[in-house]
Structure 1
Amino acid sequence: MESTEVESDILRRVRTLLRELDGHHPAFQCDRGMLRWTLHKKIDQNPSNSSVLVGILVKELERAERGDYRHYIIPLLHTLMYELIKAPCISEDLCSRVYDFCKKMLTLPKPFCTIGLDYAARLKMERTAPGMLYQRMVISEQSLRSDPYPYQEKVFIFADPELLSEAICNALVTDTEAAQVSQSPRLCMSYVIIHAMQAGLVEGCDISGLKRSLQDMPMSAVEHWFQQVVMAVEGAGSEVNADRSQCVARLEEIYHAVLSSVPAGNTPLGELQGIPLPSPNISFHLWTEDDQLWKELVLFIRPPSQSCEPNLLSQELDTFEIQDIISDCECCKQTRFSVLSTDSGIERDLPGATEESGVPCSAEAEQSRLQRKGGIKKRPSPLDSVAFLQAGCHSPGAKPVAKLQRKPGIPQAPAALLQRRHTARVVLLGDDRLLGRLAQAYHSLRKRETRRVFLTPRLNLQFYHIPVITGQPNTLAAANCPAASREELCEVAGYLGKADPWYESNINTLCHMIPKLATMPSSPSKHLVTDLFLTDVIAYYVRMGIQPVCFQVYAVKIFFNDPAQEPAEDVFLTELRTRVPEISPHRELAMSKKKTTLDGPGIDLTVTYKKVVVSDRVKEVAMSLRSTGLVMKAIPADEVEGLVCLNVNITEIIKSNNLSGRSFSAVASRLRTHSIKIRSTEQRPFTLCLDKDSRRAYRNVISMEVSPCLEPSYCLQKTRTLKFSLHEAEDVGLVKYMPKSLLLPINTFAGVIQ
């Protein structure tokens, strides 16, 4: 009777979770996002119910497939797989049913087939090597040393201190620190051993005795048995024709060896016990420097203690290249040596002949800064190949950008000699203004990687976005961008929520929940709490959010009213807004009354743009108008809109004649374009603001050019190709296979569900 009540309670919770996806229960919108968390926590308190939850989820998946409930499939599958990873043991019959369902998903369109293929591959390994999914997740997230699985992951949370309140930042720091308190390497290795034993030896495993034995062992012994378990599980998972019985037999040998000197425990054999899934390695960063993202990623690849020594991850890099890269991050101050030979072959140009030829004194300082080691010839490195240059775009590798802006699926990995053993999961905590800074930093990172490849072949870079808006938005931003309301500051998150209902339920709900949680009174024993809601939700997001949604980054070239001022170049992700400043009183008196009467408010502009049409034919349009300002939106309002374009809304001033004289009215005109040029024909400049951020405002602008931002590696390779090709109008050679535009990928649970 008790088991029936438990099953009924879990079924009710799952059904409530599904009704939440339909937008029902509007009275409980404040609790959205808590249902999934409370469901998993309930199972964690009683791990024996994990099989009950998996069975219910499998039935609901099969019911959703039979009926017209396709939007239930991905949320149910993510919930099921997350429970399978954490569960101490799941029967072979249930795993087989889930595996068969994932194979059926291969007949569905993207992203269903992509997610189904990924989960089917994981389940196949888990059935052969029990405990592999849990083991790999803990090893990578905790950066445990393991030769069979040498992968490392780290979560970087970036927040802008000027956009978030101090209370929110302090609350996040407290939560992330509290989650790391009980995650020592010894404890995590013990978790892996116990979980593998329980998954493999279901009926004959003494969990309490195993725990006591591991606690009494020295650290070296725990590490030894950890390595043995990893080798047994990974060995079974990597073999083509591996048998589950072989892995179980090896685990049983290790189990008896560990318990050889410990008396039997009191726990009955076969009773399941919950093994915690440690929180990932999370670091919280306040984004105060423009190149801070680059620095943190370099330090993740090469910690300061190893910055001067080559290791396995960078042995293919030349020693001098490493020193040059690390010197950019100020973690290793050394003299920079030139590797390439630059002498002309003429005797007087040799270093020894400089003294005789009378070198100026100023050259001595230059030589002390840049020393040349003679006779070093640079070896051709695989890192200089085009495959590495195009690898970091995170797009599926397709060149055209005029088709789809949202590209579901996992980006293709290049055929590289170096494996990407590091995964950096960058979580952006804020609104569209922070994402604008991310677009700048990502563009800068790609340019650095084009000049000298370092991170691309070693690092798998993933971006995640959690929208957060404080009660009082930046007053300066509101002044420069008056239309930036609370909803408009989260356009990207709103779009992702419409495209992915599971993202809307679990992540978008944090937008207003995080400020409330930050202002709640803290408990004296908060550092002992392990069930931290924010940390758990972030961990779930970075673990299960595997589908990127790619957004086009746009480049803008800005020309100023002062001819002596150099043009500025910048990029934006969401919005470009212009505003014509009001005419000052003394200037208005100086102007002719006739001109003021005829022209009215605003300034005269010439607009040249390429019109977006369904047939993809380029149609250039030129027009002149008078306007008081315009707004370029790069994020579409509808998630199913397929064309990549800028929606330009221009406030046009129309002059009309009537009986009382001339009058002026404002009319909104809308353009859809890929690229546009705007120039003021008067001497009056205008103000330009990017991504709703007052810190990225440009004044005294007279002209601007906006177009899709090109991938830096594409530009470099095309420049090289043009030197040896006469076909300047079209891409030839390797260029036509490279991604042309710079796309910023942001991960969600499902990508875009068509």
Structure 2
Amino acid sequence: MESTEVESDILRRVRTLLRELDGHHPACQCDRGMLRWTLHKKIDQNPSNSSVVVRILVKELERAERGDFRHYIIPLLHTLMYTLIKAPCISDELCDRVYDFCKKLLTLPKPFCTIGLDYATRLKMERTAPGTLYQRMVISEQSLKSDPYPYQEKIFIFADPELLSEAICNALVTDTEAAQASQSPRACMCYVISHAMQAALGEGCDLGGLKGRLQDMPTSEVERWFQQVVVAVESAGGEGTTDRGQHTARLQEIHRALLSSSPAGNAPLQGLQDTPLPNPNISFHLWTEDDQLWKELVLFIRPLSQSCEPDCLSQDLDNFEIQDIISDCDCCEQTRFSVLSTDSGIERDLPTAAEEPFAPCSADTEHSRLHRKGGIKKKPSPLESMALLQPGCHSPGGKPPVKLQRRSGIPPDAAAPLQRLHTARIVLLGDDRILGRLAQAYHSLRKRETRRVFLTPRLNLQFYYIPVVAGQPNTLAVEDHTAPGHEELCEVAGYLGRADPWYESNINTLCHVIPKLATMPPSPSKHLVTDLFITDVIAYYVRMGIQPVCFQVYAVKIFFNDPAQEPAEDVFLTELCTQGQDSTSHRELSMTKKKTTLDGPGIDLTVAYKKVVVSNREKELDMSVRSTGLVMKAIPSEEAEDLACLNVTITEIVRINHLSGRSFSAVANRLKTQNIKIRSTEQRPFMVCLDKDSRRTYRNVISLEVSPCPEPSYCLQKTRTMKFNLHQTEDVGLVKYMPKSLLLPINTFAGVMQ
């Protein structure tokens, strides 16, 4: 009877979750996002319910497929897979049903087939070696040393202190620190051992005795047993054809050996017990420097050695710059491709015999004759050594020995391909303004990587976005009446929510939940990791959000009223807004008043743009208008619209003649384009604001040009190709297969559902 009540309660929770997706839940506004969290917490409290939850979710998935409720499928599938990963043991029959359902999704369009293929691949491995998904997630998220699975992940939370209140930032710091305080590498290794044993042996695993034995062991011995379990699970999961019985026998042998030295007891087996899924490695950062994102990624790829002091690190980070970032391509003015040379050109500075293994026989005498004395050997900083690293070179600060091999007649060996063993998950907290900063940082990072590749072959970069809006008195604004409201500041989040209902339910609800929780008084159970709602939701988002939505980044070139001032180049992601600017000169002010009296408010503009049409044929148009300002929006109001399109609204001033005089009215002139040029014909300046961020406001602007931001690697490759094909106008070779525009991917649970 009790099991029937539990099953009815879980079924009611799942059905309520589905009604929330339809917007029919009566408490949609206050409890949205809590239903999924409470469901998984209920499973954590009683792990034996995991099989019941999986069975109910499979039934609901099959019912959604039969009833053509496709918007239920992805949320139910994510909920099921998260339950399956955390479950102590799932029967083969349930795994087979889930696997068969994922294979059925391959006949559906994207994103169903993409998610179905990914989960089917994981389930196939999980059926052969139970516990593989849990083990790999813990190893990568905690950066545990493991040769069979050497992958590492880290979550970087970035928040702009100018956009969020101090209370919100302090609350997030407290939550992330509390989430990390209760876990250690030793504890995580014990979790992996316990979960692998229970997943393979089921109720035959003496989990109580196993935990007691691991607790009494020294850390070195725990690590030894951890490595044995990882090798056993990875060998079974990697082979694919390994018999399930062989895998169970291997872990049974390890289980017996672990408990062999412990005193025998007559305590009965306690059945399935919970093995916690540790919170991932999270670091919180206040985004105060423009290149802070790049610095953190560099240090994640190559952490500092223990001999490096923190003070030296900070100084190295502040002083280090890559001087030869590309300044060429179609989006830049100069053309310069050079490789940074470490050769000073002085004969006695040539490498010594120890540094040059292929040096001629007379190197010893030459070395003794040119030996320096009294010099100070400077130890290169970690960032300097990383800047000089080339793909395929693994020694810090070392040179690839290609030239030396060629000089001695030895053919160069092929450089070992690099693997992306690191995954950086960048979580942005804020509104559209912090996404504008991200677009800037991402564009700068791509330019660095184009000139000197370091992060790209080693790092898998993932972006996530959690909208948070909180008013703050010191927030900058151009003028009070131009400050955008909460809805206008979260256009990207609104688009993602319309495109992905599961994102709307779990992530968009945090927009007001996070400020509310930050102002609440601390509860007595605040130190418990299980009560850290925000951290748990972030962990769920980064673990299950695997479908990117790509947003077009736009480049803008700004020309100023002063001819001596160099044009400015910038990028924006969401919006560009222009507004009239008052003249400072008394003469110009009086002339402006007379002009306004005759022609109305605003300034005369010439607009040249390429019209976007259905046939994708370019149609160039020109127009002259008198306008008080314009707004270019890159985020469409409907998810069905094309993302790579600017919706431009020009506030045009129309003069109307009456018998009694003359009046003026404002008319919204709308157009769609990807390339547009705007110029003030009166030489009267105006202001330009990018991504709704008043800190990115340009004054005294006379004209501007907007176009899709080109991908720096495409520009570099095309420029190099054009050097050898001077008369070639079309893309040839590898260039035509490269992305031409810079796209910023933001991960969601489903991407854009058709």
TM-score by length of 1: 0.86
Structure 1 pair 439/213, CA: closer, same or farther in 2 (3 Å)?
A: same
Deviations 1:658-707 (A, max 9, x none): 10122211100001001100000112100000000011000000000000
In the other structure, the counterpart of 1:218 is 218
Letter in 1 for 2:54: V
Distance 1:52 1:58 in 2: 10
Aligned partners of 1:93, 1:432: CA distance in 2, in Å?
46
The answer to whether the Cα contact below 8 Å between 1:440 and 1:571 also exists between their aligned partners in 2 is: yes
Provide the residue aligned with 2:743 in structure 1.
Answer: 743
Gap regions ≥5 residues in structure 1? 309-324, 344-348, 354-367, 371-377, 384-414
- 1:263 is aligned to 263
After superposition, the Cα gap between the structure-2 partners of 1:480 and 1:244, relative to the gap in structure 1 and judged at 3 Å, is: farther
Letter in 2 for 1:145: K
Q: What is the distance in 2 between the residues matched to 1:22 and 1:515?
A: 26
In the alignment, what sits opposite 1:548?
548
1:331/1:231 CA distance change after superposition, 3 Å: farther
Post-superposition CA distance 1:586-628 (Å, at most 9, x none): 4566327753432221000010000000100000001111100
Matched residue, 1:302: 302
- 1:502 aligns with 502
Q: CA RMSD in A?
A: 2.7
Name the structure 1 match of 2:434.
434
1:655 matched to 2:655? The reply is yes
The aligned counterpart of 2:70 is 70
Q: Distance in 2 between matches of 1:352 and 1:481?
A: 68
Deviations 1:529-559 (A, max 9, x none): 4331000000000000000000000000000
Deviates more, 1:247-256 or 1:523-532: 523-532
Name the SS for the 1:605 alignment partner: strand
Residues in 2 aligned to 1:157 and 1:636: alpha-carbon distance in whole angstroms:
27
Residue 468 of structure 1 aligns to which amino acid in structure 2? V
User: What is the rounded CA distance, in whole Å, between the counterparts of 2:475 and 2:629 in structure 1?
Assistant: 21
Aligned residue type for 2:170: N
The residue type equivalent to 1:77 in the other structure is: L
Do structure 1's residue 57 and structure 2's residue 57 form an aligned pair? yes
Q: Which residue of 1 aligns with 2:421?
A: 421
- The CA distance in 2 between the partners of 1:267 and 1:627, in whole Å, is 84
**Structure 2 gap segments, 5+ residues each:** 325-338, 350-377, 381-387, 394-414
CA distance in 2, matches of 1:291, 1:333: 10
Q: CA deviation at 1:483?
A: 5.4
> Greater CA deviation, 643-652 or 426-435?
643-652
Say whether 1:329 aligns with 2:341.
no
1:63, CA displacement in angstroms? Answer: 0.1
Say which SS state the counterpart of residue 254 (structure 1) adopts: helix
Mapping for residues 121-132 of structure 1, pairs under 5 Å: 121-132=121-132
CA distance in 2 between partners of 1:140 and 1:589 (Å)? 64
Task: Give the residue type in structure 2 aligned to 1:535.
Answer: T
The aligned amino acid for 2:119 is Y
Paired position in structure 2 for 1:88: 88
Deviation at 1:286, TM superposition (A): 0.2
Residue in structure 1 matched with residue 732 of structure 2 by the alignment? 732
- 5 Å matches for 1:447-596? 447-472=447-472, 475-477=475-477, 479=479, 482=482, 484-582=484-582, 586-587=586-587, 590-591=590-591, 595-596=595-596
AA matched with 1:13: R
- Aligned with 1:89: secondary structure? coil
What are the superposed Cα offsets for residues 18-60 of structure 1, whole Å, 9 maximum, x if unpaired?
0000001344411100000000001110000100000000000
Q: Please tell me the residue identity of whatever aligns with 1:578.
A: T
Q: Which residue of 1 aligns with 2:289?
A: 289
State whether residues 84 and 90 of structure 1, in contact with CA within 8 Å, keep that contact through their aligned partners in structure 2: yes
Shift of 1:68: 2.2
Provide, for residues 137-165 of structure 1, a one-character-per-residue CA deviation record: whole Å limited to 9, x for no partner. Answer: 00000000000000000000000001000
Tell me: CA distance 1:583–1:261, structure 2 relative to 1, closer, same or farther (3 Å): same
> Does the Cα contact within 8 Å between 1:499 and 1:753 map onto a contact in 2?
yes
SS at match of 2:203: coil
Change (3 A) 1:149 1:22: same
- Which residue is equivalent to 2:341? 340
Amino acid at match of 1:140: S
> What is the letter of the counterpart of residue 59 of structure 1?
K
Residue 722 (1) aligns with residue 722 (2)? yes
Instruction: Return the letter of the residue paired with 2:716.
Output: L
- Structure 1 residue 327 displacement after superposition: 9.4
The alpha carbon displacement at 1:733 in A equals 1.4
CA contact (8 A) 2:279 2:539 kept: yes
> Could you say what secondary structure the match of 2:699 adopts?
strand
Map of 1:624 onto structure 2: 624
Residues 523 and 531 (structure 1), Cα distance of their counterparts in 2 relative to 1, 3 Å cut: closer
Distance (whole Å) between structure 2 residues aligned to residue 719 and residue 369 of structure 1: 37
Moved more, 223-232 or 477-486: 477-486
Percentage of identical aligned residues = 80
Change (3 A) 1:16 1:725: same
Change (3 A) 1:418 1:531: same
Aligned position for 1:363? none
Residue 83 of structure 2 aligns to which amino acid in structure 1?
A: E
1:19-38 paired onto structure 2 within 5 Å = 19-38=19-38
Q: Secondary structure at the match of 2:734?
A: helix
Report the equivalent of 2:173: 173
Asked if the contact 2:128–2:240 (Cα under 8 Å) also holds between the matched residues in 1, the reply is: no
Q: Is the CA contact 1:653–1:664 (under 8 Å) kept in the aligned structure 2?
A: yes
* Conservation of the 8 A alpha-carbon contact between 2:189 and 2:222: yes
Q: Secondary structure at the match of 2:36?
A: helix
How many Å separate the matches in 2 of 1:697 and 1:630?
A: 15
Q: Structure 2 counterpart of 1:172, which letter? A: L
What corresponds to 2:47 in structure 1? Answer: 47
Structure 1 residue 473: Cα displacement = 6.9
Contact 1:206 1:264 in 2 (8 A): no
Q: 2:423–2:461: 8 Å Cα contact kept in structure 1? A: yes
1:97 and 2:85 correspond: no
| Distance apart, 1:471 and its partner CA | 3.6
Q: 2:163, 2:472 within 8 Å by CA — same for their partners in 1?
A: no
**1:666-705 to 2 correspondences below 5 Å:** 666-705=666-705
Superposition deviation, residue 266 in structure 1: 6.1
Matched to 1:639, the amino acid is E
Letter in 1 for 2:464: Y
How far apart are the structure 2 equivalents of 1:599 and 1:631?
A: 22
Q: Could you say which residue in structure 1 is the equivalent of 2:408?
A: none
Aligned partners of 1:580 and 1:686 also within 8 Å = yes
- Rounded to whole Å, the distance in 1 between the matches of 2:35 and 2:416 is 42
User: Tell me, what secondary structure is at the counterpart of 2:695?
Assistant: helix
Q: Quick one: which amino acid aligns to residue 427 of structure 1?
A: V
| Contact preservation (8 Å) 1:206, 1:265 | no
Secondary structure of residue in 2 paired with 1:201: helix
**2:209·2:259 contact (CA, 8 Å) conserved in 1?**
yes
Give 1:582 deviation, angstroms. Answer: 4.1
Amino acid at match of 1:513: V
2:607, 2:678 within 8 Å by CA — same for their partners in 1?
A: yes
- Indicate conservation of the 8 Å contact 2:391/2:454, yes or no: no
Which residue pairs with 1:395 in the alignment?
none
Amino acid aligned to 1:446: R
Structure 2 counterpart of 1:197: 197
Q: How far apart, CA to CA, are the structure 2 residues paired with 1:616 and 1:306?
A: 57
- Partner of 1:304: helix, strand, or coil? coil
CA distance in 2, matches of 1:436, 1:62: 41
In structure 1, what residue type is equivalent to 2:438? Answer: L
**740-749 or 584-593, larger mean C-alpha shift:** 584-593
User: Do the aligned partners of 1:163 and 1:473 also contact (CA within 8 Å) in 2?
Assistant: no
Residue 706 (structure 1) aligns with: 706
| Alpha-carbon distance change, 542 to 594 in structure 1, aligned in 2, over 3 angstroms | closer
1:187 matches 2:187: yes
Tell me, yes or no, if the aligned pair for 1:208 and 1:266 is still in contact at 8 Å. Answer: no
* Paired residues of 1:416 and 1:457 also in contact (CA < 8 A): no
Number of residue pairs the alignment of both structures matches: 681
